[in-house]
């Protein structure tokens, strides 16, 4: 009896241990099934599309007013052939570290990938200024809301190219407030100063210069999300200061229970507003900023290892398009939420240099030559200038 009891216990414990060890794989598999099953709806997000004339005119900074036959070619337009006198300013806003990673470890740190996103803006957009709006950037994290951001090696490395703008944390730290703080802050900065807002996982691949010259009354440029254009995503926005569209969008955040409608204000509402106020918005096709999408298969496509021939092919495409995979692509949003655990967190400068994936091919030129990783005591230390 004792032997049998012990045996049962042993079996039970083994099963639990096995379950524990396999959990990440089971979780991964569950996620895979949830996302790729025929009822997940991801096939609509992934569907093929063709950029239409309005979207292409917008991409080229031409007049796109619906029903207006005077479709402008800058060369022979009523704007005198030149750009409008007040293009959208070529300044970039990033927002990072609103939550303190000391108390919210899942908030993440300003790390190699964040550095790479800012580098992509430096290299591709050649902006007049890059503002990094933050509350907590220090490394290691500190309870002090005024801790020195220069303790973060990645911030130090970017220091010559960015302007740090410190924001005090909001009073009363409710999580709903945090969830939308970054959404409303980006609109506030664009309303006050204009420019280009980029999420920290959005990578600029080519100059936005043509877009920035989009003629009034189009004061805002947004990109469609999904091959079915189900929304206009707020991860990349270009806008003139004082745009009525941005003011209206910002006002929509007042007095709503935001905890229940995450995607509505950031993706769906802008699409609805663009349909009711088409003269104010320049809406780009899905490939401009948000292609491929966040679906399981699309994320795989960006990060799967390429054969030698495929790597040569995609590198030549990137060269031909001036830095992007597709003709009309200006940025790539890497969808941190969907891709971090599966791929992004494993990336280092060495991995990006050595392994051919579509994502890595795009990113290589943003790495500075003297950036490398050294292993010391099994802890990864990123070598940085002068430290
Ligand atoms: C192009 O597509 C957008 C988004 O679906 C739509 O609003 C616009 O009317 C279309 N333009 C033309 C010329 O079909
Ligand atoms: C925006 O509006 C404010 C207040 O009306 C004004 O002071 C500012 O000059 C405007 N900025 C731009 C860029 O038009």
Structure confidence by residue, pLDDT tens digits, 141-172:
999 999 999 999 999 999 999 999 999 988 76
Q: Give the number of whichever ligand sits closest to the CA of residue 64.
A: 1
Q: How far apart are CA 196 and CA 94, in angstroms?
A: 9
Cα separation, 43 vs 62, whole angstroms = 32
The predicted structure's pLDDT at residue 64: 61
pLDDT digits (tens, 9 = 90+) for 46-84: 999 999 999 999 999 886 655 544 444 444 343 334 456
Beta bridge partners of 93: 131, 197
Task: Give the closest residue (by CA) to ligand 1 atom 11.
Answer: 54
- Nearest atom in ligand 2 to the alpha carbon of residue 241 is 13
Q: What is the DSSP letter of 91?
A: E
> Where are the chain's structural domains?
2-40, 53-288, 294-382
Helix extents (H) in 280-384: 286-289, 296-303, 308-320, 336-339, 349-354, 358-363
CA of 161 to the centre of ligand 2 (A): 27
How far is Cα 364 from Cα 349, in angstroms, rounded to an integer?
8
Q: Say yes or no to pLDDT of 281 above 90.
A: yes
Q: What atom in ligand 2 is closest to the CA of residue 193?
A: 13
The proportion of the chain whose per-residue pLDDT surpasses 70, expressed as a percent, equals: 87
Distance 168 CA to ligand 2 centre (A): 25
Q: Which ligand is nearest to the CA of 274?
A: 1
What CATH code is assigned to 53-288?
3.90.550
- Number of the ligand closest to the Cα of 57: 1
Question: Exposed, middle or buried, 347 (CB in 10 Å: 0-12/13-18/19+)?
Answer: buried
71 CB near ligand 1 (under 6 Å): no
Closest ligand 1 atom to the C-alpha of 55? 1
236 with 223: CB under 8 angstroms?
yes
Contact 86, 95 (CB under 8 A): no
- Report the Cα 71 to chain-centroid distance in Å: 32
β-partners of residue 202 are 333
Per-residue model confidence (pLDDT) at position 365? 96
Q: What band does 22 get if pLDDT is binned at 50, 70 and 90?
A: confident
The pLDDT of residue 386 is: 39
Q: Spell out the residues 6+ positions from residue 326 whose beta carbon is closer than 8 angstroms to its own.
A: 287, 291, 317
224 alpha carbon to ligand 1 midpoint, in Å? 11
Q: pLDDT tens digit string along 107-128?
A: 889 999 999 999 999 999 999 9
Q: Describe the strand order of the beta sheet including 129-134 as a list of residue ranges.
A: 163-166, 129-134, 91-96, 195-198, 231-239, 220-225, 281-284
User: 161 is written with which tokens?
Assistant: 């190219």
Which of 47, 49, 50, 54 most suits a substitution to test ligand 1, by most atoms within 8 Å of the C-beta?
Answer: 54
List the beta bridge partners of residue 275.
Answer: none
**pTM for the whole structure:** 0.87
User: DSSP characters for 102-146?
Assistant: TT-GGG--S-HHHHHHHHHHHHHH--SEEEEEES---SS--S-TT
Query: Is the minimum distance from the CB of 68 to ligand 1 under 6 angstroms?
Result: no
- Residue 229 Cβ < 6 Å to ligand 1: yes
Between CA 109 and CA 301, with CA 330 as vertex, the angle to 5 degrees is 70
For 323-377, what is each residue's pLDDT tens digit?
A: 999 999 999 999 998 999 999 999 999 999 999 999 999 999 999 988 887 544 3
CA of 293 to the centre of ligand 2 (A): 36
* CA-closest residue to ligand 2 atom 5: 242
**Scanning the structure block, which residue is given the tokens 């980029």?**
198
Q: Which ligand is nearest to the CA of 216?
A: 2
280 CA distance to ligand 1 middle (Å) = 14
CA terminus-to-terminus distance, the chain: 66
Q: Is-contact 183 199, C-beta < 8 A?
A: no
d(CA 268, CA 194): 22
51 CA from centroid of ligand 1 (Å): 9
Out of 150-159, 247-256, 278-287, least confident range: 247-256
In the reported structure, the alpha carbon of residue 242 is separated from the centroid of ligand 2 by a whole-number distance in angstroms of 6
């Amino acid at each position: 009896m004792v032997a049998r009891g012990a045996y049962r216990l042993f079996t039970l414990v083994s099963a639990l241990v096995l379950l524990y060890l396999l959990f990440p794989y089971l979780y991964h598999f569950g996620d895979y099934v949830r996302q790729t099953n025929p009822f997940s709806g991801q096939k609509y997000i992934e569907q093929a599309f063709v950029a239409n004339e309005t979207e292409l005119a917008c991409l080229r900074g031409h007049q796109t007013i619906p029903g207006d036959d005077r479709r402008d070619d800058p060369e022979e337009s009523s704007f005198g052939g030149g750009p409008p006198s007040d293009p959208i300013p070529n300044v970039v806003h990033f927002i990072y570290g609103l939550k303190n990673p000391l108390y919210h470890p899942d908030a993440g740190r300003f790390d190699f990938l964040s550095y790479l996103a800012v580098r992509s803006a430096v290299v591709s957009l050649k902006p007049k200024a890059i503002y990094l709006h933050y509350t907590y950037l220090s490394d290691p994290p500190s309870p002090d809301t005024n801790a020195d951001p220069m303790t973060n090696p990645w911030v130090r490395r970017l220091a010559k190219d960015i302007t740090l703008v410190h924001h005090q944390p909001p009073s009363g730290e409710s999580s709903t407030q945090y969830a939308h703080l970054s959404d409303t802050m980006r609109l506030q900065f664009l309303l006050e100063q204009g420019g280009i807002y980029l999420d920290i996982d959005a990578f600029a691949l080519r100059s936005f210069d043509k877009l920035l010259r989009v003629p009034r009354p189009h004061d805002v440029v947004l990109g469609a999300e999904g091959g079915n254009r189900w929304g206009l995503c707020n991860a990349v926005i270009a806008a003139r200061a004082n745009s009525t569209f941005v003011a209206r969008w910002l006002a929509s955040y007042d007095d709503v229970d935001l905890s229940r409608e995450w995607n509505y204000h950031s993706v769906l509402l802008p699409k609805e507003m663009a349909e009711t106020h088409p003269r104010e918005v320049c809406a780009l096709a899905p490939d401009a900023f948000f292609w491929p999408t966040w679906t399981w298969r699309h994320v795989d496509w960006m990060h799967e290892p390429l054969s030698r021939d495929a790597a040569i092919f995609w590198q030549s495409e990137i060269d031909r398009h001036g830095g992007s995979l597709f003709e009309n692509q200006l940025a790539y949003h890497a969808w941190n939420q969907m891709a971090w655990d599966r791929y992004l967190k494993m990336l280092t400068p060495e991995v990006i240099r050595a392994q051919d994936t579509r994502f890595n091919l795009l990113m290589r030129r943003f790495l500075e030559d003297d950036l490398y990783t050294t292993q010391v005591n099994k802890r990864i230390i990123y070598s940085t200038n002068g430290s």
